[in-house]
């Protein structure tokens, strides 16, 4: 793994994990009879002198490396990375809260076949700037999912055959979709036709991920009320499939006041008008599958398009595999820097409400577009 980025905010970062057990029947268990467990990791601001003596968390766990190799054929060696100190996170386990301080909550969902720590560098940076950030895991669908009783669940790779069904026509359909030329409305209609024809499984899983997320958020609210400031609502984001979940929350739930989708096709029911500020981070490959986010909205909508980026490079994996065919040519540090800047500018404006407008401008790394409300 390449050199990891350090948090840029004024706080150090603490972290806690938890698992909510026996929530509902696990429909993905082929043997039947099991219950779905929901694990999550919480990142939060702490004083820098409070982390002395605290153990560092890991930015990737053993089960996650196994799942990554299984899903993406990336040859990660956990023991070697651990011995070299490459997996030490900048988040410290169970570091004490700052007494009397509360922070806005951002909820994050990882991508399909990704993992709870899959965007840990981004989430740690957010926490260092004064946010509490909750990353939610999804068993069987995450590369590796770790529970607080010491057990883990490696992904069910057979689910890949359900993501597009029938598989080969679905893959071809997805390719054609990314190449389709048309207006935002025409692209949105074409995407809905595609998901209803080939991606019913992924579309249906959106509601199951929302159930997972609700359970994790309810736990944090009840367990750590002294940490969370809900006065301006909740911010939500996610990568890939998790980004589609974020869009659905902002579309459906009043408590969620703004959101960011990181390069995810907007699966799920997209009827209705978006009345929350929403930001899309995209690479060129997937620019055309999120156009629903630019139409039928009564609040500001934004697009930040990254040059020379691939989908996986929006996660921590860009530091494990470097720039190249899988991640794109953009330097990982630049990808990370402008991802963090986009997040902070957006959430500082619409969640903390400490500025009137995000300070985002186009440059040689990103192209920024703001879409005025159209309804």
The DSSP-derived string for 234-279 is EEEEEETHHHHHHHHHHHH-TTEEEEEEES----S---S-B-S-EE
Give the pLDDT means over successive 10-residue stretches in the chain (375 positions).
85 98 93 93 97 94 93 89 92 97 98 97 98 98 96 94 94 94 96 96 97 98 98 98 98 97 94 95 95 96 97 95 87 97 98 97 98 92
The per-residue pLDDT for 2 is: 57
Q: How far apart are CA 143 and CA 153, in angstroms?
A: 8
Q: Determine whether 227 is exposed, middle or buried from the number of CB atoms within 10 Å of its CB (0-12, 13-18, 19+).
A: buried
Q: How far apart are CA 188 and CA 293, in angstroms?
A: 9
The per-residue pLDDT for 33 is: 84
C-alpha to C-alpha distances, 127 to 90, 124, 238, nearest whole angstrom:
11, 5, 16
The per-residue pLDDT for 322 is: 80
The per-residue pLDDT for 78 is: 93
Q: How far apart are CA 74 and CA 265, in angstroms?
A: 24
The per-residue pLDDT for 270 is: 80
Domain residue ranges of the chain, discontinuous segments joined by +: 12-156+204-371
C-alpha to C-alpha distances, 333 to 39, 174, 314, 340, nearest whole angstrom:
29, 30, 11, 11
Q: How far apart are CA 374 and CA 172, in angstroms?
A: 33
CATH topology of domain 12-156+204-371: Rossmann fold (3.40.50)
Q: How many CB atoms lie under 10 A from the CB of residue 96? A: 12
The per-residue pLDDT for 324 is: 81
The per-residue pLDDT for 271 is: 85
Q: Where are the alpha helices (DSSP H) in the chain?
A: 62-72, 78-83, 120-128, 160-163, 167-179, 184-198, 200-223, 241-252, 317-321, 332-350
């Amino acid at each position: 793994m390449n050199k990891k980025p350090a948090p840029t905010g004024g706080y150090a970062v603490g972290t806690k994990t938890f698992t909510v057990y026996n929530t509902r029947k696990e429909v993905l268990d082929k043997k039947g009879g099991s219950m779905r467990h929901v694990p999550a990791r919480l990142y939060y601001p702490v004083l820098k002198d409070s982390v002395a003596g605290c153990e560092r968390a890991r930015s990737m766990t053993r089960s996650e490396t196994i799942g990554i190799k299984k899903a993406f054929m990336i040859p990660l060696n956990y023991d070697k990375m651990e011995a070299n100190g490459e997996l030490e996170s900048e988040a410290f386990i169970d570091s004490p809260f700052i007494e009397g301080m509360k922070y806005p909550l951002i909820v994050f969902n990882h991508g399909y076949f990704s993992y709870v720590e899959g965007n840990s560098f981004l989430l740690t940076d957010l926490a260092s700037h004064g946010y509490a950030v909750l990353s939610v895991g999804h068993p069987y669908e995450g590369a590796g999912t770790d529970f607080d009783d010491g057990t883990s669940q490696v992904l069910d790779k057979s689910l890949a055959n359900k993501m597009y069904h029938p598989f080969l026509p679905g893959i071809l359909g997805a390719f054609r979709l990314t190449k389709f030329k048309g207006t935002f409305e025409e692209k949105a209609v074409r995407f809905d036709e595609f998901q209803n024809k080939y991606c019913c499984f992924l579309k249906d899983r959106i509601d199951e991920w929302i159930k997972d997320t609700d359970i994790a958020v309810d736990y944090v609210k009840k367990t750590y009320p002294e940490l969370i400031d809900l006065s301006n609502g909740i911010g939500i984001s996610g990568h890939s499939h998790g980004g589609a979940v974020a869009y659905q929350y902002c579309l459906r739930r009043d408590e969620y006041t703004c959101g960011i989708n990181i390069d995810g096709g907007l699966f799920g029911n997209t009827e209705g008008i978006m009345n929350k500020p929403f930001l899309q981070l995209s690479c060129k490959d997937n620019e055309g599958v999120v156009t629903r986010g630019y139409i039928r909205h009564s609040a500001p909508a934004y697009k930040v398009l990254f040059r020379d980026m691939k989908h996986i490079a929006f996660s921590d994996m860009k530091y494990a595999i470097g720039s190249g065919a899988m991640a794109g040519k953009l330097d990982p540090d630049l990808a990370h820097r402008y991802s963090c800047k986009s997040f902070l500018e957006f959430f500082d404006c619409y969640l903390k409400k400490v500025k009137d407008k995000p300070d985002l401008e186009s440059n040689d790394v990103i192209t920024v577009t703001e879409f005025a409300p159209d309804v």
